[in-house]
Amino acid sequence: MKAKGFTLTELLVVLLIVAALAAIAFPIGNAILARGRSAACLSNLRQIGVALEGYLQDNAQTMPAIAAGRKSKTEDTPVLETELASYLPNPEVFHCPADHEICEKSGCSYIWNSSQSGRNRRQLEFFGKSGADQRIPLVTDKEDWHPGDPGVNFLYADLSASSKVQFGVNR
């Protein structure tokens, strides 16, 4: 009578199949998670855009006069997360889900295009592009945390958010 159960060969074949499936599924799972974090980041930038719209309406369509960012939360410098905080109910909007350390130190995962500080909304200018173009980047990720090229998300002057570079320069 033959014993019931698996042979060592059968067990090894099953383990190899499981390992092969895991090797296929792990990168796919990571890619899906990365795309989800990028989508959440874009949502954060859209919310920052809504807050910026409120700020502009309260301040005669003039962009906030703030620094690009800060190295530490203890710095007493007007930055994106301090100037727009009253326009956002949740401070987590300033934290990109793909950022695992910078926001903890500085208070924000995003950087402000300080070349636009204090400018009227209709007088924005960036490398020769005028405010009429509205494809001027205002806020972007501090690092390239997201998959693809360029790996960062942008909030543009028309308050749209995108992972695509949609601005150019005039010569």
How many residues can be counted in the chain?
171
Paired tokens of 171: 């010569």
- Torsion (CA) 7, 10, 11, 15 in degrees, nearest 10: 170
The pTM of this model reads 0.79
User: What are the boundaries of each domain within the chain?
Assistant: 10-162
User: Distance between alpha carbon 40 and the CA centroid of its chain, in Å?
Assistant: 8
Q: For 104-150, what is each residue's pLDDT tens digit? A: 999 999 999 999 999 998 888 887 777 666 788 999 999 988 887 78
Token output for 69: 């960012």
